[in-house]
Every structure is written in C-alpha cells, then in structure tokens.
Structure 1
Amino acid sequence: MQSVRPETFTVACLYITLNSAVIPPILRYLYDPSRMYAGYEKRNVQHLKLNSELRILSCIYRTDDINPMINLLEAICPSRESPVAAYVLHLLELVGQANPIFISHKLQKCKTEEMSFSNNVILSFEKFRKDLYGSVSVSTFTAVSMPDTMHGDVCMLALNNTTSLILLPFHQTWSGDGSVLISDSNMIRSLNKSVLSVAPCSVGIFVYKSSHGRRNINDTVLNMSSYKICMIFLGGKDDREAVTLATRMSRDPRINLTVVRMVTVDDKVKEKSEWDKMLDDEHLRDVKSNASVDILYAEKAVLDATETPGVMKSLAGEFDMLVVGRGKGRKSVFTDGLEEWSEFKELGVIGDLLTSHDINSQASVLVIQQQQLMI
C-alpha cells in the first residue's frame, strides 16, 4: 500500500474545495433558471388589443379560494365580444410521494364524478363556464409538487398559454364575517412572492376578507343595486395596468367604477418623473374619454404621506372592491416613510394599508403588478 505524497493530497483537497465551494456559485450566476420565464414580449392587460381574448391563470390553494376567484373572474366582465380564457391551476403540496404530478383535466380519461385530486375545483369552474357559456372557456389543471418548485408550475403554465394575467389568492384567510384570522400560510406567501419576482406576465394578488356583509357581483341583481369598485391611482406602470383592468370591469352594467387619483396640494412637489407623469396623464385621459364605459373620476389632494392612511380608510368603507397597483420601488410623496411600516411587502404600500388592522375593512383588495420586461 503506497502512501499519498503531501503535494498530491494538497492538490486533491484544493480540487475538491474548488468543485464544492467555487464552481456551484459560478454556475448559479451564469445560469438563472428563472430566465426561462422572462418576459421579452408584452403580455399584460394594458397592451392587449381591443376586444381580444383575455387569458388569465387563476391559482387555487384552498377550497375557500374557489368562490372568491370565480366572483373576481366574473367581475372582469367576460363577454362574447371580449371573452376570457381561464386556466385554473389547483396547487397541492407534495406529501409522501416520490415524484411531482401535473395533471391536465381535459386530457384526464376518468370522469369528473370519479375520485379526483381537484373535484370541487373542476365542478365549480365547469358550472361557471356553463353559466357564462360563449363568454368564458375553462381549462383546469392540478399540480402536486414541492413548495420550493410550485412557482415554476405557475410560471410555466402561464408562459405556455401566453396569459396576460396571473391571479393569486392572498396567503391569509378569515372567518365568514371577516373578523377572525383562521389561516396564515408562510408557504403560500413565499410562493406568491416567488411568482411576483419571475412571472412572464402581469400578476394580481387577491385579498378576500369576508363572505358575510359584503356582496358578490350576482347579489346586485337581487338588490337592484351596483357592485362598487374603486381604483386608487398614484401613478406608475403598475397603476396604469390596474386602471386598465378596472376599466374593463366597468363594462359590466352591474359594476359602478370610481377612479380616485391622488394629487399633491403643493404643485411644486415632484412625486414622480416627468415621463411617468406624462404617461399617467395620457392614460387617464384615454380612460375618461372612453365612451363605452361609465366611470366616475375624482381627485384626492393630500399634503404628504401622513394623510394617506386617512384617505385609504375613508375609501375602504365605501366600496365592495378596491383595485391598486403594487408600485414596487416607487418613490412618491404619498407613501414616503410608510414603506417601513408595511407588513406585507408583496402588496405594496397602499395594498398593505388597505388590508391592515388599523383600517379594518372587509372590502376585497386586488393588487396588480404589471409584467416585468427583460430589457
């Protein structure tokens, strides 16, 4: 038995160290798996052609997510002239199984009456399709995978079906009257944040607090009233995407849309770049001049960010749903200093305010992030 020379042993140790400590980080730097979902083409609601099909990927985490998500899809106003293609993905955590499973229920041979991973989801969305026959098409999928890779299932399905919007339920759920928090999943929160960071299209996080005391859109027919939606506009690309989606919602005669633009009392204060301001003004001008929809436009003047929570509280009590842009990285006089107090960064400053305990509103909140293009 020959002994290993010290020089050979030293070289071997250095080689092993190089392989385990240096090469993997270099490979991770050179190859980023998330780039396969990167957006090089515009896939969002704002740049969708007029009356073209809107493709939406709706994610379902729990049974409680089904009815709120169907209500939201119906509020987006599918019609024969401007249909909605809904791709519904039921996400389940992989437990006690070696391999992940991805199921397309259109290709599944067994009938829906038989045992299925997602029987409630399939039947509920099939009824939704039949209720809006000709205006909505539905394709249902189930993904059973590890929490760390679930965002890949979401983004790949969105990429393959060229969707313009991914809808994600919020990670918290409340009791029927919205007073008691009954579920708070860190896994779902982490999944939502991962999708936001790499999604190939726009993303919306839907916060639904109460099924009691807050109507859904179908209740307006029985009450001879309107479903009240407010879009709060601060400026920026996320807000432009959000107001575009809200404008589409207002095509439904049952929906009453109010667009509230935040403005500064002091005209000398510059809360955004001149280019962004020009884009915002032009976009809102198009919204207000749109003859096919009836929109109430209002402006709320504030001195600084200390007045913003009070404005949000007053608006939250008046509407059934609030639509806002996420505004990641936005520097604004309306939110300056409030970022430090945000509990859920994925909702943005305004979205976090509207869902906070201080405001204590039972209104639904939809937070929109426009597609992040890779340039």
Structure 2
Amino acid sequence: MVSHILADLKLLYTGLGRVTLTTAMISDFYNWVMFAMLVPFAINGGSAIYGVLSTIVYVLFCFAVIRPYLVEIIVRKTNQNEWDNSGLFIVVMGAYASAAVTDLLGTHPVVGALVYGIMIPRGKFTHLLIEKSEDFGVVYLAPLFFGSCGIRLRAIYVIKTQGLGLVLFILLLSILPKILSTVIATQFYGMPVLDGVSIGLLMNTKGILPILMLNSAWDKQILSVESFSILTIAVLVMTMMVPLIINAIYKPRKLYKQNKLKTLQNLKAEAELRILACVHNPRQATGMINILEACHTTKLPPLRVFALQLVELTGHTASLFVSHVNQLNQLQSGGEQALTKAQQDLESITNIFQTYAAINENSKVDTIAAASSYSTIHEDIYNLSQEKQANLILLPYHKQSNIEGILETSNTAFQEINRNVMRDAPCTVGIFVDRGLASLFKVNLRVVMVYIGGPDDREALAVAWRLSKHQGVQLSVVRILMFGEAAEIDVMSHVENHGLLSVVVDSEKQKELDDEYVSAFRLKAVSNEDSIKYSEKEVRSRDDIPEVLHEVDEIGYDLYILGQGGGRNCLILTELMKWTDCPELGVIGDIVASNNFGSSSSLLIIQQYGCGGMVFENSNTTQKPNEVVPSNIEDGPDFVKVEWHQ
C-alpha cells in the first residue's frame, strides 16, 4: 500500500520514498512476526507455545530442505519454457498446502502461505505467475474478501451507540503517536520536520495485514462489534486521507524553480558535471556511453553519471517491481535465477556502464531503474534529476538506425516521454540521435556545432566547448549569420503575450548575449586550441539554410551538437518549425535527422534549463487559411530544393 501511494505521488524514487518504503518493509516484517507469534496465544492460551515452536521448526524445514529442490525445479522449467497452466496450478496449490500445515500447527494459515511465497525464486517465473493469477486475485478474490469485511462493519450503529466524539478520539489516538514518534526519530537524524511528518503519515497507511488481524480477532471473538468497527474505520480513514494530505503538504516539484542558473553555460570549470542518462534498452546504453566518453576528460573534474533504465509497467504490482529490479546484487549469478526481460536489460545496462566506469577510473556511475507507466514516467525523471542534482538529462531519440543507416521508429511512446521531459525539466535536457557514433577509444571524434543564436544554442556551445577539452575530439563551430529576409523578427507569435516593444528588445538582448558568448569562446578556446576551428556562414533567405547545412555535412562529421532553438524569435525558423516531424529536435535538428537529408552523423540536441520549457503543438494538422506551405513534403520538408507558394 505504501509503495502504491509513493508511486502515485511520484515519490518512490526520492530520498523520502526510499526511507519510507524501507521503514514500511521493516515494520511490516516485525508485524508479520508478531502476528505469527501472538495469534496462537490469543486462540489457544498457554498451550500455544507448542504451536509456535512447531511453526518455527516447519519454517526452518521449508528453507533448509524444501526450498533448494523447489528453486531447482522452478528455475530449470522456467529456463526451458516448460510451464503450462496445469504446472502453474500445482505451484499455486502449494500455497494452500503450506497454509493448511500452519493452520494444523495452531498458527494462522496466512503464515504458511507467506512462507511458501518467500521460498519461490524471484525473477521470470514470478513475473509469469503474477501475470496468470493477478487478474483472478485482484478482480475476483480481493473484492470478495473486502466485501465480507464491509458486511461485518457496523459504522452507523457504532456512531449512534458510542458517539462520534469517541470514534474521532480513537482515530486521533491511532494516528498521532506514530506521527510524533516518527518526527522525533527523524529530527534525531537531522531530517526536516516536513519529511518526518510525511513519513509518519505514510506509516499510518494500512494494507492487508491489519484487515487480516481484525478479521481473525472477529472470528475468534476477541474483538467486540464496536471495537472491530472502530478499528476498521480507522484503517479506512487513514489509508484514504494520507495520500491527499501528502499531496497537499509535500510537493517536490516546487523545488524545480529554485535555481535558475543551473545550466552548463554557467557551470564553473572546477564543478562536477552530473548527468542523468535515461535509456530503455542496452542498445541505447551503448550509444550513451560514447557521449559520456567525450564528456570525460582529465582536464576537468570527475564525471558523475546516473544511468536510469525506464521500464513501462501497467499491472497492479508495478510499484513494487522497482524494489526487485533494483536489487540485482541480491540475485544469484550463473543462471540460477531466470530473469524477466526488464531485469535482463537492467543487468546488461549495468554491465555496460560498469565497464565504462572501470575504464574511466575518475568517473562514478550509479545504475537505477524507474518503473512506471509511460504517461507519467517523466515525473520520475524530474524527481531523480532533482534529487541527484543533475546538470544534464540525456534522453534517447525515439528512432534508431537500421543496417542501411536509415532512422526507423522503435517506439512512439519514447517521443512522448521526451516531449514531456522537455516541457518542465528541472535542468538542461539533451536528446541523442544515435547513428552509430564511434568510440573515442578507437578513433578521433569529429564534432560540429551549428550556432544560430538563442539560449539553447549558447548551452549547446557550452556542451561542445566541454567536449573539445577531450584530446580525441576535433571541434568545428559554424555560426550562421542572418541577414535580409532571414533576419526578420517573429513578432506575431509573441506580441500578444509580451508586446511589440518587449519582443524587439528581447531579440536585441539575445543578439548581444550571443555575440558576447561567441567572442569569449573564440578568445579562450579557438585561439588556444589547434583542435578547435571557427567559421561563419551567411544566410539571407530560407533557401540558404539547407544549402549551408549540406556544405557542412559534406565535410563528414561524426556528431552534430545543436540547440533546440528556443528564444530565437526568427520568422523563417518559426515558419519552418510548423512543418517539422519532430519539433523536439528543433528546425536544424529535424533537417539533419531527416532521412531525406542523407546525413550519417549522430546528433545531440540541447535545450537549456530556465527558459520556460518546450511547448509542443500539433504541427502536421489541417492547413489554416493563408498559411505558407511547402509544396513538396515527404518525410518532413524536402530541404534539398523547396519551392514555396501561398
């Protein structure tokens, strides 16, 4: 229950979430032990000691004798894909058999079922078992069980006979002690009061165990009707109210706006670069490694990398899966455990990044998994990047290169994740378009940065500047200067919100910042490094843009570093943006990434933090009246030669 609440509130991967989930697991463990020990005494009195001792002997027998054979059979049949419905049914019936044994020994049947469940090896088999049995348990059995609890509940009767004041008083006594004790304990360890209150509230959420205990006490006539009803009401009220209270008082997203200068452009040279590298599969991890290699150099402080595997989960057990998938160190090696696809991918991703960390001794790498639905997983990325104090979030492009070098869509959901992250990211965001970027350990990396202007381009130049400090990187910066028609300001798109004068002044201010930053780059980098080149290209119309890009691409670069394009206020770029297939790449990025353009270079698209985030619109929709439309569009605009008409 706690893990579900934390997952719904997007706190599962924060420091608060980890402390709360760990505390809840330890607390529940002791609750189960106390439940197994005390129930026999409540039922059988003094003779219960024999039942408790017999249960302990049975548990030891299960783990010492039965479990090795059970694990061997399950793992072997799972690796050979020999499971069918009858075999799974036999495994499930083992839980009933174990429950019957503990019932005969004098303890509660659920203790035997729990022991049997712990013996089953975690991994691919448990995933298969849950997939087969979850719907039956959640849709059929659970409603029957909780429905029977509701039939026993006499809420109105208790309120009438005992009074509402007594019920509320008992509710407060059930909630406040745990909150106060938690706040005192967290204060002792230096945690904020708000975190202590949140953990205390979450500790008040109840799952299946309290309901089992109350029903067992009802069956054995240990509790009266009034006691059972009041305690059940307390469980319901606490479990329903806690998520609402936590959502109201603890909102980590408020922290996102605290530091507007958290950009790579403003990052000091001696500061550590912290990167959150998000991947969906091992292939994307291999591509990310090449970018990280270029960011790591002996001239700068160590690189800190947090490799995050994004796992889509839709089942009822989704929130607990991350606790399993993040504990690969507890899984037995040598094929003794049959892993799920997500666990196999995480193991491969972990090995890839550990190999990178072993080669680059100054780099520190942590591997994490985020399991959530794709519609909300961007919030987990926000929380992790905020907690890890990341300067840069690296995201994989939703298309991957095939054998022929053509980009093909792998999963459209990846594109939506990238857009959601770019809308309100707490730091700078980079989208990596991988076309087989070579490793720096084998060849030199030829990098080009196409600079037009705006905060995203300044951030992209900062990234390229850092990469240029690597001895294996040859950097070329091509600045595109706008003149004539190309220099016209896009007034209409911003005049309603900012006013005509504000738009003009802001454009002039951006030009001053661009000139200042490029001048500093030429003075400090180009003049002192032979591996850095700088050139300028003039553009006077929209037709000149693809011509300039073709001239650049003919040289043959391994990697383009481009700004997404926010804050440029350029009329022709705004018009071209309406016809991009992937607006998250920006106009220039969409051109170079298009299969029609014919480039074989990888791309890194940069969006600077603090500019309000990216706003995406449905660009390829019905044509508006009097709208300028390119006449020949196939896979995005054909930028080799485009004829424009009204």
1:285 offset after TM fit, Å? 1.2
Letter in structure 2 aligned against 1:149: T
> Which whole-Å CA distance do the structure 2 matches of 1:269 and 1:147 have between them?
40
1:351 aligns with 2:578: no
2:469 to 241, 248, 251: 251
Number of residue pairs aligned between Structure 1 and Structure 2: 336
Secondary structure of 1:43 counterpart: coil
1:35 offset after TM fit, Å? 4.1
Secondary structure of 1:281 counterpart: helix
5+ residue gaps, structure 2, are 1-247, 490-505, 614-646
Q: List per-residue Cα deviations over 1:19-71 (Å, max 9, x = no partner).
A: xxxxxxxxxxx99x794463320222111111211000000112220111000
Larger Rg belongs to: 2
Secondary structure of 2:575 counterpart: coil
Contact 1:43 1:162 in 2 (8 A): no
Residue in 2 that maps onto 1:8: none
- Of Structure 1 and Structure 2, which has the larger fraction of its residues in strand? 1
C-alpha distance 334-215 of structure 1, shift in aligned 2 (>3 A): farther
1:104 offset after TM fit, Å? 9.7
> Which whole-Å CA distance do the structure 2 matches of 1:65 and 1:329 have between them?
30
Secondary structure of 1:262 counterpart: strand
Letter in structure 2 aligned against 1:72: I
Residue in 1 that maps onto 2:423: 197
> Which whole-Å CA distance do the structure 1 matches of 2:376 and 2:273 have between them?
27
C-alpha distance 198-333 of structure 1, shift in aligned 2 (>3 A): closer
Query: TM-score of the superposition, structure 2-length normalised?
Result: 0.49
1:219 offset after TM fit, Å? 2.4
Letter in structure 2 aligned against 1:342: T
Residue in 2 that maps onto 1:315: 552
C-alpha distance 104-254 of structure 1, shift in aligned 2 (>3 A): farther
C-alpha distance 112-130 of structure 1, shift in aligned 2 (>3 A): farther
Residue in 1 that maps onto 2:330: 110
Residue in 1 that maps onto 2:257: 39
Residue in 1 that maps onto 2:511: 277
Residue in 2 that maps onto 1:56: 275
Contact 1:342 1:349 in 2 (8 A): yes
Residue in 2 that maps onto 1:219: 442
Contact 1:103 1:141 in 2 (8 A): no
Letter in structure 1 aligned against 2:513: L
The alignment's C-alpha RMSD in Å is: 2.8
Residue in 1 that maps onto 2:59: none
C-alpha distance 332-373 of structure 1, shift in aligned 2 (>3 A): closer
1:80 offset after TM fit, Å? 6.8
Residue in 1 that maps onto 2:609: 371
Q: List per-residue Cα deviations over 1:248-271 (Å, max 9, x = no partner).
A: 000111111001000134499455
> Which whole-Å CA distance do the structure 2 matches of 1:80 and 1:310 have between them?
37
Residue in 1 that maps onto 2:348: 120
Residue in 2 that maps onto 1:299: 536
Letter in structure 2 aligned against 1:298: S
Secondary structure of 1:366 counterpart: strand
C-alpha distance 325-65 of structure 1, shift in aligned 2 (>3 A): same
C-alpha distance 285-267 of structure 1, shift in aligned 2 (>3 A): farther
Contact 2:253 2:383 in 1 (8 A): no
- Of Structure 1 and Structure 2, which has the larger fraction of its residues in helix? 2
Q: Which has the higher contact order (CA 8 A, sep 6+)?
A: 1
Deviates more, 1:99-108 or 1:159-168: 99-108
Residue in 1 that maps onto 2:295: 76
1:153 offset after TM fit, Å? 1.2
Residue in 2 that maps onto 1:3: none
Query: TM-score of the superposition, structure 1-length normalised?
Result: 0.82
Contact 1:105 1:139 in 2 (8 A): no
Secondary structure of 1:327 counterpart: coil
> Which whole-Å CA distance do the structure 1 matches of 2:573 and 2:460 have between them?
18
> Which whole-Å CA distance do the structure 2 matches of 1:217 and 1:261 have between them?
26
Contact 1:259 1:296 in 2 (8 A): yes
Contact 1:230 1:319 in 2 (8 A): yes
Contact 1:264 1:303 in 2 (8 A): yes
Residue in 2 that maps onto 1:184: 410
2:522 to 264, 272, 288: 288
Contact 2:562 2:606 in 1 (8 A): yes
5+ residue gaps, structure 1, are 1-29, 221-225
Q: List per-residue Cα deviations over 1:113-141 (Å, max 9, x = no partner).
A: 4654510000110000000002x100110
1:131 aligns with 2:359: yes
Tell me the percent identity.
Answer: 30
Contact 2:427 2:608 in 1 (8 A): yes
Residue in 2 that maps onto 1:236: 454
Secondary structure of 1:251 counterpart: coil
> Which whole-Å CA distance do the structure 1 matches of 2:252 and 2:375 have between them?
13
Contact 2:430 2:605 in 1 (8 A): yes
C-alpha distance 354-130 of structure 1, shift in aligned 2 (>3 A): same
Letter in structure 1 aligned against 2:353: F
Residue in 1 that maps onto 2:309: 90
1:143 to 363, 367, 370: 370
Deviates more, 1:91-100 or 1:277-286: 91-100
Q: List per-residue Cα deviations over 1:176-219 (Å, max 9, x = no partner).
A: 341362x431211111100001110000000012x3xx633222
Q: List per-residue Cα deviations over 1:328-354 (Å, max 9, x = no partner).
A: 353225625212221111111111111
Secondary structure of 1:358 counterpart: coil
> Which whole-Å CA distance do the structure 2 matches of 1:300 and 1:184 have between them?
35
Secondary structure of 1:352 counterpart: helix
Letter in structure 1 aligned against 2:588: I
> Which whole-Å CA distance do the structure 2 matches of 1:34 and 1:197 have between them?
17
1:243 offset after TM fit, Å? 0.1
C-alpha distance 142-80 of structure 1, shift in aligned 2 (>3 A): farther
Contact 1:241 1:369 in 2 (8 A): yes
